[in-house]
Structure formats: structure tokens, C-alpha cells
Amino acid sequence: MKNIKILLSLLGLLVLFSNVVKAESYMYGGPKIFYYDVDQSDVDSLATDLVNLGFSTAKVEANEAGVGFDIGIGIPVSDAVDIEGGFVYMGEFELTATMTGPSETVTVTSSAWSIPLVGKFKIGDSDANIFAKAGGHYWKQNSDLTTSKGSATMWGTGLDPVLGIGGEVGGLVVSYEHYSFSGVGAGAGIGEGGMSALSLTWKSEF
């Protein structure tokens, strides 16, 4: 809770500062295709939880990709550096659990979200450039896999690094980002490998 309060305070200051330099500030947003970097050990831990509920065996499978979006604001602090902050919906992470003793199959989805705050380092001008991003993001995931013998909880929250690269031409931005996850519970859902995303974003000054 302390981490999210700090990050939300920083985002609030970003919005306030953007009003001061309103002529140069911009909004951005668009779709993102996510790849969920889930190791077998991540889902095996959930299968163990299901066996501990009383099933004879349990096998858990996870989807590898999903579609989400982001929206946010950016503030140029120099010709080469912007600060960006916003909200990211990370798509639907889906798990399917197949158990025996008794026989049962359960599917559950969890929609994770993130609040990133990054520095954007550009080579080029404001309308045509390539860039790298680095910063942090507060993220959260929370869902339960409910069976006839009880529930196994998938949850996670944390404050972790986010990195990215990309290019911009005339307000159209294409980028690749990697969101790290190392918070408590990350191994029972999203996976400590994190998520990668390919983004197509439109940027507009306000």
C-alpha cells in the first residue's frame, strides 16, 4: 500500500506539472499485445496447492498471450528526455486446472493492471525519433481458482522495473516493453518472468 501511495503521488505531481507546461505536454494511448512469460514452476506451485486441497492429481495450464491497452500523459523535460506516467490494462491471464480424484476441470481468468512511471530518452526530434524507456511500475493481480474442495488463491502485487524501446513518426509510436514482476505471490499467477508487450500508440499534445 505504501508503494502505490508513493507512485500515485508522483503521478499526481506529473498531472499538476503537465498543466504548468500545457503547451508541450501530451496524452498517449493505444492497444498492446502481451506475452506472458510463465515458467512451468509458476503453474506447478498452483497445482501443488490444488493437491493440498484433497485432489489426487492436478495439472495447470496457462495462456501465453493477451490483448490490453495503455493510456497516460507525458511531459518533455528537455529536447531529449520526457517523463511518462499512466495506466496499463494487461489483458486476461487465463489458467485451466484439470484435477483427478475427483475428476474436475476449472478455468479462471485474472485481469492484471499496472501504473508505470518512466523516463523516455529520445534520439531525434519530437515528431521523429527513436527512444529507450526505463522506470518502475506498481502492479496488481488478484483472483481465486474455486473448486469443489475449496479455493486456491492467485494473487500478486509489487513495485518493479519496466524497460522499453521504440520509435515515433508524426505522433504514431511503436514500442516494445518488458514489465518485471517479483512481488509476493507472483509465482502463483503472472509468473516471475514478467510480461512483454508490443504497443501501437497514438500521441497527441494538449
Q: How far apart are CA 194 and CA 183, in angstroms?
A: 11
Give me the pLDDT at residue 1, please: 53
Angle at 169 between CA 137 and CA 167, to 5 degrees: 40
Q: Which whole number is the average pLDDT over 59-80? A: 90
- DSSP assignment of 36-75 equals E---HHHHHHHHHHHHHTT-SEEEEEE--EEEEEEEEEEE
- What tens digit of pLDDT does each residue of 154-190 get? 667 888 899 999 999 989 999 999 998 875 444 444 5
Q: Residue 24 above 60 pLDDT?
A: yes
Band of the pLDDT at 12, cuts 50, 70, 90? low
Band of the pLDDT at 192, cuts 50, 70, 90? low
Q: Residue 43 above 90 pLDDT?
A: no
Q: What is the CATH number of domain 2-38+65-91+112-147+155-205?
A: 2.40.160.20
Give me the pLDDT at residue 184, please: 44
Give me the pLDDT at residue 152, please: 75
Domain locations in the chain? 2-38+65-91+112-147+155-205
Give the pTM.
Answer: 0.78
183, 141 Cβ separation under 8 angstroms:
no
96, 107 Cβ separation under 8 angstroms:
yes
Better pLDDT: 12 or 78? 78
- What tens digit of pLDDT does each residue of 102-134 get? 999 988 887 789 999 999 999 998 889 999 999
